[in-house]
Each structure stands twice: as C-alpha cells, then as structure tokens.
Amino acid sequence: MTSEHENEARRTDLPEGFVDALREALTDGSVITDVDDLEPYLREERGLFAGKAQVVVTPATTEELASAVAICAEAGVGMVPQGGNTGLVGGSVSNAGEIVVSMKRMNAIREVDAVNFTATVEAGAVLADIQKAAADAGCLFPLSLGAEGSCTIGGNIASNAGGIGVLRYGNTRQLTLGLEVVLPDGRVWDGMRPLWKDNSGYSLKDVFIGSEGSLGFVTAAVVKLFPEPKEMQTAFCALPSPAAALSLLSLARKRSGDQVAAFELLSDFACGIVCEHAGGVFPLGERRPWYALIELSSSRENSDLREVFEGILAEAFEEGLVEDAVLAESLDQRERLWVLRERTPEAQKKAGGSIKHDISVPVGSVPAFIEKASAAVEDYMPGINVCAFGHVGDGNIHFNMTQPEGMEKAAFLGHWERVNDIVHPIARDFKGSISAEHGIGLLKVKEIKDYRSAVEEDLNARIKRAIDPQNLMNPEKFI
C-alpha cells in the first residue's frame, strides 16, 4: 500500500470546475485563491518549507466542511488541514494540486461544564481561549505550550500535543474524551461523548488523535477539565547534573503528595542565551551547569504548599541535589522565572542557526542520553553548543544545537541530517522516540521509517488504507 502510494504520480493541478464547485458549496469568502490572501496559509513556522496550494478553504460549519471534503474526494484532490499553523514539522505544508483547509473559523467554545469537568470546543478554538473559558468557570484546562496564544485545539489533537503539564495531567490524548471528525469521503463521525468511561467499540478517537490530519478532519472535541489551582509555588534551582534533577523530581513528587505541576530542565547554555537575547534575568548568584524550573500547584486554598516546597529544597540542599535556589515571592517573579524556560526557542532563533531534536527516553535514562549525545555531537563538530531543555519529568528533551561561534548559519544547517543521524540512534539505543511531541509531518516522514519495525510500518499502512483508501488526507506526510 505504502509503495503504491509512493509510486503513484500525484497530480499537481486542480481539475476543471473544481474551484467553482467549492464556491458553490461554501459561503462567500470561504474559498481563497488570491495570491496575497493565500500567503499566511503557505508560510511555515520555521521557514524550512513553503506551501504550494493555490486554494485555501475556510469552512464555518461541519456541514460546509463535509461538503467541501466530498467535492475533493470526488475530484481526487488532496487535503491539508490547518489550525493555527504553528507546527514545527511542516505538518500543514501543502503541495501543488492540494488544497489547504483552515479550521480557524470553526472556533466556538460551545460549553464549559464545571460539574462534569468537561469543555466542548470546536477545532479552530485557540488554546489560550479555552484555558481562559475554563478559568472563568473555576476550572483548569491544563494543556499548555509555547504557541498557546495562536495554536488551535484541533492542531493540538492532531499532533497529540504535549507541553509542560504532561507529568501531572497527560498529553492531549489523555485530555480528550470525545471527537467529531469529517472523514476523507465527507461523512461525519459523531463521537462527541462527554464520558469518562466508554468501551463500546474500538477507541476510534485514539485512532484520530495524533494522526496529524492523515485520516480526517477533527472538527470538535470534548476535553477534560480539572479543579483550578488555588495556589502555585515556583522555584528555579541550580543543579550539579541532570542526574540530580531526576532525584530531585522523585523527592518533590513524594514529599508534595504528587503536586508537581511542572518540572523543566534547562542547560546553562540555554539559560544564558535567554538572558542575552530574549529578556531573561538570571535569578541566582552564580551560573551552574544545569537548572530546574519546578512548579507545585494545589487546587486547595490555604494549603501549606510553600512550607512543603521549602522543606523539599532544604532536603535537596542537604543531599547535594540543589546548589542554589530561589522560590518566587510574587506572581511577577514567577513570570520572570518562566521567561527563562519559555523563551528558549526565541533565544535560539536569535543566537544563530539551530538543529533541533524532539527526543523522549525513559525518565531514568535522561542523564545518560544527554551525556552520550552531547559527547557525540561535540566530537562531530567542536564548538557546537548543546542547548538542551525540556520536560524531564516525562522524559522529553528538546536536544537542540546552536551553531558554533563564527560559523555561517547556512553551513551549520547543512549538517542537519548528519547531526540527526548521530543523535537519533542514541535515543533509539535508550528505547527512546525521535518524535516525542512535535510530530512527524514532513520533517521526519522519511527518517521515521528507519525507526519503525516492518510490522509497525505495515500496521500503520493498514490503518491509513482502512480509513483513507484514496490517500487524500495530508498525503506524503506522517505515514
């Protein structure tokens, strides 16, 4: 099946009458063909790819989308779903002959149910808007990531987004109870069940979640909410090593009653470039090799979280796990501490070319992975800067590189694949993944095949063929 798809020459033009049919099915202004108007939908976050679609549609309802999809299916035209277009792997980059379907107009937050702890949202709803609607109802929607101001929940679901809350609350998959999906032939699957328990067939929602738009369009979802945190305590700690971070995490989980909401590791290089290029203010006396940003939270009012945190830090000092630390005294200070972690990507952009990896390994293997992979890339290219950071609590390390001082950016980026070829096999040796939370998209679609067994490739191909037999959904990506 896979090879059939690959060998088929895909058409790069659109059939006659196709655009007219779309215009007839959709409301005015929902079919975009003007070159200037197309541009925002063809851009790609990191500038690695350029979209080539000549048509973008922006349906307003599930019915409109279903009509458009049926027209595409009839005409054999490939479809590329797009949410906030903030993805990092080119998952919504279009080829010539395909159309982009933007979900941004289907952005209603239909319901927030504070008794069932669920929200019902449309795919184009911006993550930050959902967070806010939940908070307005005294609840928490815990999905949180850098792009939250512009990414959409549909994109989060398509890529099974992770972010900083996974340790405590799970990935987007775990946060999603129900889905509505427009299938590749234009039929609609209504799986919008606001249920915490339901075993009435295969878990269809889990087939669509994380499928990166390769099986259909997520149009709406029922997501889980949690009691709103009433107290947060945030510390920035200097650590001697990533191994110390692990022991500190374990200590913090146990001593706090598993109230660790975030546990982010940051190398000194990563911290340094945020201070130099992205407005970070270093909060400790002296630079150290590693830092952890730790947040405890509780939905209980007047809890003793701060005392508990002080106790954890005191114990960690004694055990040599922490060398220096600051516990935020105010929300302002908390935000300044978070800047050090959140602006790492921005700082990396300003510090020159970067080669990125989205690795996960078993939590206990994080220190060994960092050590081995750092040595290997430094051996390959003396002067390369390892800019490692990430969600150590769930084993997910953004093992990024910034170019050596003085090197040309383009020359450095020319080493992308070779550096991948050094880092990724090391992740595999630790039973890790080379695609932890950003997805596969266009960026890793070829390489990922080397990391899946023949049986796994076959199972993936069977599922794709079962649900999208014409291979119309986001073709040439993911699978």
284 is an interface residue for a copy of itself by CB under 8 A: no
Q: Which is nearer to a copy of itself, 194 or 289 (CB)?
A: 194
Q: Which of 13, 190, 319, 371 binds a copy of itself (CB under 8 A)?
A: 190
Q: Which is nearer to a copy of itself, 173 or 336 (CB)?
A: 173
Q: Which of residues 167-186 bind a copy of itself (CB under 8 A)?
A: 167, 170-171, 173-174, 183
474 is an interface residue for a copy of itself by CB under 8 A: no
CA–CA separation, 61 vs 468, rounded Å?
22
Yes or no: say if 390 and 163 are a contact pair by the CB < 8 Å rule: no
CA distances from 24 to 11, 76, 115 (A): 23, 18, 43
We find the least distance from the C-beta atom of residue 178 to a copy of itself, in angstroms, to be: 9
We find the least distance from the C-beta atom of residue 270 to a copy of itself, in angstroms, to be: 19
Q: Which is nearer to a copy of itself, 204 or 407 (CB)?
A: 204
Q: Which of 436, 442, 472, 473 binds a copy of itself (CB under 8 A)?
A: 436
3-state secondary structure the chain: CHHHHHHCCCCCCCCCCHHHHHHHHCCCCCEECCHHHHHHHHCCCCCCCCCCCCEEECCCCHHHHHHHHHHHHHHCCEEEEECCCCCCCCCCCCCCCEEEEECCCCCCEEEEECCCCEEEEECCCEHHHHHHHHHHCCEECCCCCCCCCCCEHHHHHHCCCCCCCHHHHCCHHHHEEEEEEECCCCCEEEECCCCCCCCCCCCHHHHHCCCCCCCCEEEEEEEECEECCCEEEEEEEEECCHHHHHHHHHHHHHHHCCCEEEEEEEEHHHHHHHHHHCCCCCCCCCCCCEEEEEEEEECCCCCCHHHHHHHHHHHHHHCCCCCEEEECCCHHHHHHHHHHHHCHHHHHHHCCCEECCEEECCHHHHHHHHHHHHHHHHHHCCCCEEEEEEEHHHCEEEEEEECCCCCCHHHHHCCHHHHHHHHHHHHHHCCCECECCCCCCCCCCCHHHHHCCHHHHHHHHHHHHHHCCCCCECCCCCC
We find the least distance from the C-beta atom of residue 177 to a copy of itself, in angstroms, to be: 10
We find the least distance from the C-beta atom of residue 115 to a copy of itself, in angstroms, to be: 4
We find the least distance from the C-beta atom of residue 56 to a copy of itself, in angstroms, to be: 26
Residue span 219-238 as binding mask against a copy of itself, x where in contact by CB under 8 A, dash where not: -------xx-----------
Binding segment toward a copy of itself, per CB under 8 A, in 76-84, 279-287, 376-384, 434-442: 434-442
196 is an interface residue for a copy of itself by CB under 8 A: yes
We find the least distance from the C-beta atom of residue 55 to a copy of itself, in angstroms, to be: 27
We find the least distance from the C-beta atom of residue 396 to a copy of itself, in angstroms, to be: 5
CA–CA separation, 128 vs 139, rounded Å?
14
Binding segment toward a copy of itself, per CB under 8 A, in 43-51, 127-135, 191-199, 344-352: 191-199
Q: Which of 433, 471, 472, 473 binds a copy of itself (CB under 8 A)?
A: 433
Q: Which of residues 102-161 bind a copy of itself (CB under 8 A)?
A: 113-118, 159-160
Q: Which is nearer to a copy of itself, 137 or 413 (CB)?
A: 137
313 is an interface residue for a copy of itself by CB under 8 A: no
Query: What's the CA angle centered on 25, arms 20 and 31, to 5 degrees?
Result: 60
189 is an interface residue for a copy of itself by CB under 8 A: yes
> How many residues sit in the footprint of a copy of itself (CB under 8 A)?
92
Q: Which is nearer to a copy of itself, 14 or 66 (CB)?
A: 66
- For the chain, the distance separating the N- and C-terminal CA atoms, rounded to the nearest angstrom, is 11
Q: Which is nearer to a copy of itself, 350 or 452 (CB)?
A: 452
We find the least distance from the C-beta atom of residue 205 to a copy of itself, in angstroms, to be: 9
Q: Which of residues 441-470 bind a copy of itself (CB under 8 A)?
A: 448, 451-453, 455-456, 459-460, 462-467
Q: Which is nearer to a copy of itself, 82 or 256 (CB)?
A: 256
Q: Which of 24, 39, 136, 258 binds a copy of itself (CB under 8 A)?
A: 258
257 is an interface residue for a copy of itself by CB under 8 A: yes
We find the least distance from the C-beta atom of residue 111 to a copy of itself, in angstroms, to be: 11
Q: Which of residues 348-407 bind a copy of itself (CB under 8 A)?
A: 360-365, 391, 394-396
Residue span 285-304 as binding mask against a copy of itself, x where in contact by CB under 8 A, dash where not: -------------xxxx-xx
Q: Which of residues 315-354 bind a copy of itself (CB under 8 A)?
A: none
In 3-21, which positions are buried (b, 16+ CB within 10 angstroms) versus exposed (e)? eebeeeeeeeebeeebbeb
